[in-house]
């Protein structure tokens, strides 16, 4: 897959044309923001915003919306010979295709360190990033680095909206933590699902 497009269909004539398209070769990062909303502990809805951008911060493709189907993909309905896929489900499929596209290129090259910048709300690159390689994970921030080597790595998970990377000896303390951990809001990490896929491949594959 080299990209994707959103088509607009005339309900009367069924004529269709590409309204938006994104070519993967032109993009560098995907900023995906998925936020679940709760009231008194009861799930209400999920807001989502997917933006593919280049290194200059130019948005090549953007789509956003909301749904209220927690842990489920909204129903797919068919109309004549066309399949009308709800926006969120479609964007998840686009993200999967994007992640495969990037991962295949990375794995086809000699082992290297891959940069995952931290992006601001406008999807612009900030002066911090997470570096991932087959030998470990490093956070660069404010001139300082925090590294967890492969042999020290305990876990990499999503927790309470954050990407959390911990060493095997990490223990959360009331006043001070033991071991090493790296955490950043998952919505701010560029290509965050690619990060998770490569981590599994290199550390637990």
Which residues lie closer than 8 Å to 203 by C-beta, 6 or more apart?
150, 153, 156
For residue 68, the model assigns a pLDDT of 82
Neighbours of 201 (CB within 10 A): 13
For residue 152, the model assigns a pLDDT of 96
Residue pLDDT tens, the chain, 205 long:
899 988 777 777 777 777 789 999 999 999 999 998 999 989 888 899 999 999 888 999 999 998 887 655 555 555 554 445 588 888 999 999 999 999 999 999 998 999 999 999 888 888 999 999 999 999 999 889 999 999 999 999 999 899 999 999 998 887 778 899 999 999 999 999 999 999 999 999 8
For residue 77, the model assigns a pLDDT of 54
d(CA 93, CA 9) in angstroms, rounded, equals 20
Kindly report the CA angle at 188 between 70 and 55, in degrees rounded to 5?
125
For residue 98, the model assigns a pLDDT of 97
For residue 26, the model assigns a pLDDT of 96
Q: What is the pTM of this model?
A: 0.87
Return the structure tokens found at 133. Answer: 């390689």
For residue 75, the model assigns a pLDDT of 55
For residue 74, the model assigns a pLDDT of 53
For residue 114, the model assigns a pLDDT of 97
CA distance to 34, 91, 153, 204, per residue, from 50 (Å): 8, 7, 30, 28
- 112 close to 106: Cβ distance less than 8 angstroms: yes
d(CA 79, CA 84) in angstroms, rounded, equals 7
Q: What is the CA radius of gyration of the chain?
A: 19
Neighbours of 196 (CB within 10 A): 17
- 64 close to 123: Cβ distance less than 8 angstroms: no
Q: Given the structure tokens 């309905």, which residue do they identify?
A: 77
């Amino acid at each position: 897959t080299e990209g994707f497009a959103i088509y607009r269909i005339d309900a009367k004539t069924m004529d269709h044309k590409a309204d938006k398209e994104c070519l993967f070769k032109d993009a560098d990062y995907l900023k995906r923001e998925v936020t679940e909303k709760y009231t008194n502990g009861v799930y209400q809805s999920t807001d989502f915003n997917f933006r593919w951008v280049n290194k200059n911060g130019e948005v090549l493709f953007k789509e956003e919306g909301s749904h209220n189907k927690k842990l489920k993909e909204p129903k797919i309905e068919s109309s004549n010979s066309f399949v009308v896929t709800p926006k969120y489900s479609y964007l998840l499929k686009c993200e999967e295709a994007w992640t495969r596209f990037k991962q295949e290129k990375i794995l086809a090259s000699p082992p290297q360190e891959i940069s995952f910048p931290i992006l601001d709300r406008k999807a612009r690159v900030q002066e911090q990033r997470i570096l991932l390689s087959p030998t470990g994970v490093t956070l660069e921030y404010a001139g300082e680095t925090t590294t967890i080597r492969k042999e020290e790595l305990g876990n990499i998970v999503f927790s309470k909206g954050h990407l959390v990377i911990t060493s095997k000896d990490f223990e959360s303390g009331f006043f001070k933590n033991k071991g090493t951990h790296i955490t950043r809001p998952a919505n701010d990490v560029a290509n965050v699902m690619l990060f998770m896929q490569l981590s599994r491949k290199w550390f637990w594959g």
